[in-house]
Amino acid sequence: MLTLTSDIATPYHRLRAGGKLAALCVATVALFWLGSVPGMAAGLAVVAGLYLVPGWRFFRQGLRLLTPVWFFVALVIVWHIVMGQAMSGLVIALRLIAAVALANLVTMTTRFDDLTDVVMWLLSPLRSLGLNTAPLGFAIVLVVRFIPVLMDKAHKLIEAWRARSARRVGWQIALPITLIAIDDAEHVAEALRARGGMVPPEET
């Protein structure tokens, strides 16, 4: 559950985690400068090209990770159509797809330990204040890993509901999703305890 790193070897795996995260930040900011449909379509085409570099298998794997996003994309488009701002909604939808796809690309090609090291380095100035940054850094990286997995499980739960009921999905799935999140959190906690818990870097 903790790893979303692709088992398909890509040129991106050899790049430093810090460089990839910095590039992700720059690219995400650049997406917000693209305010037209042709511009966003071109940006999304570039992102798709990045996925195609390692081959079709990696591209399809990345496409599967976008599955939970389609619901939000549809919601954004429908809302803006109702508000009479269809073009703005399409720009936002394309931007959402591109930004999530870029984030997934970094996650798919970066080891969990490398992400943790980068976050810990960014938090290192806080150590001078006497703060133990190990739990905070680990929590930040864990959220990066945990949310896509939880979204995928929620999507599977919704699909299971639709396969067994003609009724529209409603608040009834809130409790199962909550229980899934709690169960995953307990498994992560047990795994941490089995490995000695969180030890400050100064004590290792």
CA 173-175-176 angle, to 5 degrees, is 70
Kindly state whether residues 74 and 126 are assigned to the same domain. Answer: no
0.75 surpassed by pTM:
no
89 and 139 both lie in a single domain: no
86 & 168 share domain: no
Question: Is the domain of 119 the same as that of 104?
Answer: no
Residue 114 has pLDDT above 80, yes or no: yes
Instruction: Name the residue among 148, 50, 41, 21 with its Cα closest to residue 95.
Output: 41
Over residues 53-98, the pLDDT tens digits come to 999 999 999 998 888 788 888 888 999 998 889 999 999 999 999 9
Half-sphere exposure of residue 101: CA atoms within 13 angstroms, side-chain side: 26
Q: Other C-beta atoms within 10 Å of 154: how many? A: 18
CA 155/CA 7 separation, integer angstroms = 23
The count of structural domains within the chain is 2
pLDDT tens column, 137-182? 677 767 766 766 777 777 777 788 778 877 776 667 777 778 887 8
Query: 138 and 68, same structural domain?
Result: no
**Owning domain of residue 36:** 1-110
Specify whether 99 is located in the same domain as 180: no
Residue 90 pLDDT: 93
Provide the pLDDT for residue 44. Answer: 94
% residues pLDDT > 90 (the chain):
27
pLDDT band at 124 (very low <50, low <70, confident <90, very high): confident
In this structure, the answer to whether residues 87 and 121 fall within a common structural domain is no
> Which pair of structure tokens corresponds to residue 181?
């999140």
Residues 145 and 85 in one domain: no
CA–CA gap between residue 203 and residue 133 (Å, rounded): 13
Let me know the angle formed at the C-alpha of 77 by 93 and 60, rounded to the nearest 5 degrees: 45
